[in-house]
Chains A and B, each alone.
Chain A
């Protein structure tokens, strides 16, 4: 009995100390000087621009990585080809490589003095210190989540349902749309949540490629740091709370994807 209770104390205490307490502190500090001050801080033009940029970047990265992730998972699970093992290993690279390194790599490749970046600049496309660079960096770091969530689900559902659909007259696309996708949607949804969380929270890579120009290339995380360094603590905490709220909202949204048959 005592053993069970002490186990619980350890588990809950660990969570409280590492998760609940710090996050609660941020919330508390935000509203220390009243709701009005916090509201004013998050509705300042720079804050709003950072929020908008974060949402835009997240939307592009999540969409691209979801489509790519599903295709990639199907290829990895259902196809046998040379280099499959290598592709599988490379996919985890964004988890292993530090975001700062990712940012630096993009900088080397796309800055105006580099061949690729120079060529793009001649055609009027600016990558570094601009939105495309931020999107690339975010896509890179949030790439593996959908693939990794979808692969085990695909393996589990097997191919029989798809074969049944094809004998019933469904084309490969109809089979994917009507059978495979609904069957893996929970894995996709969870992958989307993780991708979104990663995309919204990314700091290191974005910090390197964005140039941190207030009101232009600052995402929410960079904005939080900017406020922190400028001793604008209310602005800093309020922006952090907005980030946390977006994350919580994303988590709640996945509940909509719970399979009907389990409700």
Chain B
């Protein structure tokens, strides 16, 4: 049930969508393909599903080379960003589609469809048409439809991309639970680093048709292999060649040997978190992330003079060193 893409390359005219990409998703894992749009992650997913043919390279699912097979012979479940619901069919008929194609007996189809509708919490909606469902409901229906054929692997192409923030948040939690229950090897494409970190257990960061780094979410956050990964996974301040996470900036009211003078420009209150936008003496800008209590006890306000010290920073291409602004 594992998925492997080996040395996959794909060009669209002059645009290189995938450049010798190797990605593996171990059995039972939930792997996120993360990267900016145009980075090649959706193309890779479509190549795995057979919806695109690679110019070169191999797609191996459960140890079998499936590169030359059409999508209908690959045993993959695919969920599209814009649902791809069959508009002229009811929710029941949508979910039953793959089973009907497989000529399953009616009783078995009924049982399976209602089981799945319960799983995706659409029990009461069997007779409705997609147009009568909300976006979140449509996507859950699409997921049930993909799961109905008991796919070896599940491929999700920006599944929550078209939904509003709250529904997206709910569905992420729901998807992770579902995955823990079903353990179908899953690849999720997303451009949202928070989504990737929240849902998946492995992240493949892609950019310009190449894999930048592969690892567990925490690993990527703590040990980014490149400037790009550091900037893409989590917020970052850049001072020359040096990269600093905003929560690694400490604000003090008194100077010590290694602090730098700065002025508070602006404070942004985001509930628990407070963001302080700062200007250093030499005119460069950065921002720091504080807890609400910290900001309160420091009595921060716009225009206040403070001293910052940097805990941990990274310089790519050279070993990590302290920042000297």
Chain A positions near chain B (C-beta within 8 angstroms): 160-161, 163-171, 174, 178-179, 182-183, 185, 259-262
B72: Cβ under 8 A from any A Cβ = yes
**1/0 contact string of B110-154 vs chain A (CB within 8 Å):** 000000000000000000011110000000001001101100000
Q: How far is the CB of A155 from chain B (nearest CB, A)?
A: 15
Complex CA–CA separation, A261 to B89 (angstroms) = 8
B71: Cβ under 8 A from any A Cβ = yes
Query: Nearest 10 pairs between A and B by C-beta?
Result: A168-B98, A261-B129, A160-B84, A164-B84, A167-B78, A166-B71, A182-B88, A169-B101, A167-B71, A169-B72
Question: Nearest CB to that of A160 among chain B residues?
Answer: B84
Is B84 a contact of A161 with CB atoms below 8 Å? yes
What chain A residues lie within 8 Å of B290 (beta carbons)? none
A-B contact pairs, 21 of them (CB 8 A): A160-B82, A161-B85, A161-B86, A163-B71, A163-B78, A163-B84, A164-B78, A164-B142, A164-B145, A165-B86, A166-B50, A166-B70, A167-B51, A167-B72, A167-B77, A167-B78, A168-B145, A168-B148, A169-B102, A169-B149, A185-B88
Is B88 a contact of A260 with CB atoms below 8 Å? yes
Known interface pairs A161-B84, A161-B86; A167-B49 also in contact (CB < 8 Å): yes
Q: How far is the CB of B152 from chain A (nearest CB, A)?
A: 12
What chain A residues lie within 8 Å of B146 (beta carbons)? 167-168
Is B72 a contact of A260 with CB atoms below 8 Å? no
Complex CA–CA separation, A167 to B72 (angstroms) = 5
What chain B residues lie within 8 Å of A163 (beta carbons)? 51, 71, 78, 80, 84
Known interface pairs A168-B72, A168-B145, A169-B101; 20 further A-B residue pairs with C-beta atoms within 8 A, sorted by A's residue number:
A161-B85, A163-B84, A164-B80, A165-B86, A166-B50, A167-B76, A167-B77, A167-B78, A167-B146, A169-B72, A170-B72, A170-B101, A174-B101, A179-B86, A182-B89, A183-B87, A259-B87, A260-B129, A261-B87, A261-B129
What chain B residues lie within 8 Å of A166 (beta carbons)? 50-51, 70-72
What chain B residues lie within 8 Å of A185 (beta carbons)? 88
B92: Cβ under 8 A from any A Cβ = no
Question: Nearest CB to that of A157 among chain B residues?
Answer: B87
B97: Cβ under 8 A from any A Cβ = yes
Is A168 a contact of B101 with CB atoms below 8 Å? yes
What chain A residues lie within 8 Å of B142 (beta carbons)? 164
**1/0 contact string of B15-56 vs chain A (CB within 8 Å):** 000000000000000000000000000000000011100000
Question: Nearest CB to that of B100 among chain A residues?
Answer: A178
